Amino acid sequence: MQKLDESLLTHLPPFAKLHRSQIRAILDQASSKRFDPELTVFSEGETAERFYMLLDGYIRVIRITPDGEQVIALHIPAGQLFGIAPAIGRESYPATAVTAAESIILSWPTRLWTDFSTNYDGFATETYKTLGSRIGEMNNRILEMATQHVEQRVANALLRLINQTGRKTENGVEIDFPITRQNISEMTGTTLHTVSRLLSAWQKQGIVESQRKRVMVRQPHQLVELAQGPLSS
Mean pLDDT, rounded, for 172-195 = 94
pLDDT beyond 50 at 233: no
Mean pLDDT, rounded, for 89-99 = 95
The CATH classification number of 148-228 equals 1.10.10.10
Residues 6+ apart with CB under 8 A from 92: 45, 46, 47, 48, 85
At 231 the pLDDT is 53
At 152 the pLDDT is 95
Answer whether 98's CB lies under 8 Å from 59's CB.
Answer: yes
Which sequence spans correspond to the domains of the chain? Answer: 6-144, 148-228
Encoded amino acid at 22, one letter: Q
Q: Express as a percent the part of the chain with pLDDT over 70.
A: 98
Q: Top-level CATH class of 6-144?
A: mainly beta
Q: Which long-range contacts (CB under 8 A, 24 or more apart) does 136-142 make?
A: 137/74, 138/73, 138/74, 141/73, 141/74
pLDDT tens digit sequence for 198-226: 999 999 999 999 988 899 999 999 999 99
At 2 the pLDDT is 55
Mean pLDDT, rounded, for 166-171 = 91
pTM of the model as a whole: 0.85
Residue 204 neighbours by CB distance under 10 Å: 9
pLDDT tens digit sequence for 117-159: 999 988 888 888 888 888 888 888 888 888 889 999 999 999 9
Lowest-confidence region among 43-47, 105-109, 146-150: 146-150
